[in-house]
Amino acid sequence: MQRLSGLDASFLYLETPSQVMNVAAIMQVDPTTVPGGYTFDGLRNEMARRVTAIPSLRRKLSDSLANVDHPVWVEDDDFRIERHVHRIAIPSPGRVEEMAQMCGHLVGQVLDRKKPLWDLWVLEGMEDGKIALMLRMHHAGVDGATVADILGELATAAPEPPELDPAKMAESAGSASRRDMAVGGAANYFLQRPIAALKLIPKTVPLPIDWFRRVRSGAGMPAPFLAPRTRFNAPLSPRRSLALTQLPLDDVKRVKNHFGVKMNDVVLALAGGALREYLDENGELPDEPLVGMVPVSVRGADEHDLVESGTNKVSGMFTRLPSQIADPVERLRVAGEYANQSKDHHQEIDANILRSYAEFAPGNTMGAVMRLYADRRMSGLHPPVFSTIVSNVAGPASKMYMLGALVEAVYPLAPIFHGLGLNITVFSSAGKLNVGLLTCSDIAPDIWAMARAFHDQLDLLLGEVEAGAVLAHDATVED
């Protein structure tokens, strides 16, 4: 058995019918490249073959009343691919909009915890003979980097089926008896946790003091619960709405290179500008900058005895988004300035401290509190923790073939929370910057307007690049 880390388990405890902890990747593919031709049965059979070499897709949860610690992963000895791969038709005319509407319904459905926490939906009937594949996974089992790794196992550089790794095929999560689960859980809970707490407290005491000092000087990350309120900082219903779009990666890089900034600075500037445009059109733009939470991978960080091993090896960095700035070039400059301030502050904090504290997450109590918090709509009674989540994940630069089908787009989606009802995730691959927006349709039914705003913001920056090139050319001619 493999016990979940506190952070992994927290995504189980936080889940309610209106706060679903699913991570998803929506792939638009061309099935004409599938060797032998596309059929649903053939694709499902190939998926079954690939899963034999992806251990994380074969494990399921196990728990008992006698276990006082987090649940464990065990091998699903009764794994059946028919329980995980499903087919559905997209309504006519089969555009991306209709596909996204169907996926919005699916992403809001809770995964069955009696089986491995993932499924693959094959959406047929798109225009021009294309199909879409939606891979849903629970956040307890994956983070952004893990999703990219799994996609790397399923999406290959050529359409032909790859050879499978015998070592991964032999890898197993094992089984768990109730006695072993209870004894190991008790040892963790009553012996290791108190010792870890004593070691963690001295590391934590200076953090709020230093953070308060930085906030007063304006030289660090914005503190939580100080973000301006927008329509996205509201209680959620189970209904979900998503919007998907693609930006040419070469155009984004032109902006990056022309202004001498980082790719992440451009993403944050685009997000801040799109939020500004969306909120301004609705007469809801705050005067002060919005605050984004940017997930940061800590896979390279040193492990220590306060942290259990786990899948979610992430921390979170708070950064201001330059939504209050009208000029696109100034917005880009300030986005980089905000990001650099936050990075400098974040790098001084132990990368594993969030995961360390998550080890103490009380399962039943945390779940009960979360359900009460959701039912009483308490997220509207306190200041917003932050405004939105903005995540930037780098994918492969070359073409990919998902189960033999040529991948034309990969749209990422990540969870939203009560009071934090907007997630912006971008995934770069094969010359495109794929943008996935997820929200609750009861608080923002017109989220496609924000997707279009990303194009508007990139066009504004490209216009400035072109204007700068013309000025440079004129200056050269005069010389």
How is residue 392 annotated by DSSP? Answer: E
Q: How many residues does the chain have?
A: 479
Question: Distances in Å between the alpha carbon of 40 and those of 85, 86, 159, 420?
Answer: 9, 9, 16, 37
Residue 136: burial class (beta carbons within 10 Å; 0-12, 13-18, 19+): buried
CA distances from 408 to 27, 90, 135, 356, 431 (A): 7, 18, 15, 39, 10
Provide the CA 168 distance to its chain's centre, in angstroms: 25
Residue 15 tokens read as: 């889940």
Helix (H, G, I), strand (E, B) or coil at 227: coil
Which residues in the chain show pLDDT less than 50?
A: 302-303, 305, 473, 477
In 298-414, beta strands by DSSP E:
314-321, 388-394, 401-402, 405-413
Residue 477 is predicted with a pLDDT of 47
Nearest to 184 by CA among 4, 365, 366, 367: 4
Domain 2-160, CATH homologous superfamily name and number: Chloramphenicol acetyltransferase-like domain (3.30.559.10)
Q: Which CATH superfamily is domain 197-392+417-478 in?
A: Nonribosomal peptide synthetase, condensation domain (3.30.559.30)
Could you tell me the residue ranges of all domains in the chain? 2-160, 197-392+417-478
Angle at 118 between CA 115 and CA 119, to 5 degrees: 105
Q: What are phi and psi of 285, to 5 degrees?
A: -75, 120
Say if residues 387 and 233 touch (Cβ distance below 8 Å).
yes
Q: Which amino acid is at 425?
A: T
The reported pLDDT for the residue numbered 91 is 93
Q: Which two tokens stand for residue 263?
A: 């790719």
Phi, psi of 348 (to 5 degrees): -85, -5
Strands (E), 125-270: 131-138, 155-156, 241-248
Buried b (16+ CB within 10 A) or exposed e, 246-275: bbebebbebbbebbebebbbbbbbbbbbbb
Active site residues: 139
Looking at residue 32, its amino acid is T
- As given in the structure block, the two tokens for residue 11 are 């995504």
Let me know if the fold of 2-160 is the same as that of 197-392+417-478. Answer: yes
- Determine the Cα–Cα distance for residues 361 and 13; give it in Å rounded to an integer: 9
Longest dimension (CA), the chain: 84
Q: Which residues pair with 248 in a beta bridge?
A: 432
Model confidence pLDDT, tens digit, residues 262-307: 999 999 999 999 999 999 999 999 999 999 999 987 765 544 545 5
Structure tokens at 83: 């329980």
**Which residues lie across from 412 on neighbouring strands?**
25
Contact 236, 424 (CB under 8 A): no
Distance (Å, whole) CA 174 – CA 166? 17
Task: Please report the pLDDT score of residue 300 as a whole number.
Answer: 55
Rounded Cα distance, 411 and 434, in Å: 5
SS3 at position 243? strand
Q: Please name which of 436, 408, 416 lies closest in space to residue 133, comparing C-alpha atoms.
A: 408
H helical segments located in 52-177: 96-107, 144-154, 166-170
The separation between CA 128 and the C-alpha centre of its own chain, rounded to angstroms, equals 29
Q: Tell me which residue of 58, 3, 22, 84 sits closest to 172, measured CA to CA.
A: 58
327-343 in b/e form (b: 16+ CB < 10 A) is ebbebbbbbbebbebbb
3-state secondary structure of 478: helix
- Encode pLDDT of 15-25 as tens digits: 999 999 999 99
* pLDDT tens digits, 434-473: 999 999 999 998 999 999 999 999 999 999 999 876 655 4
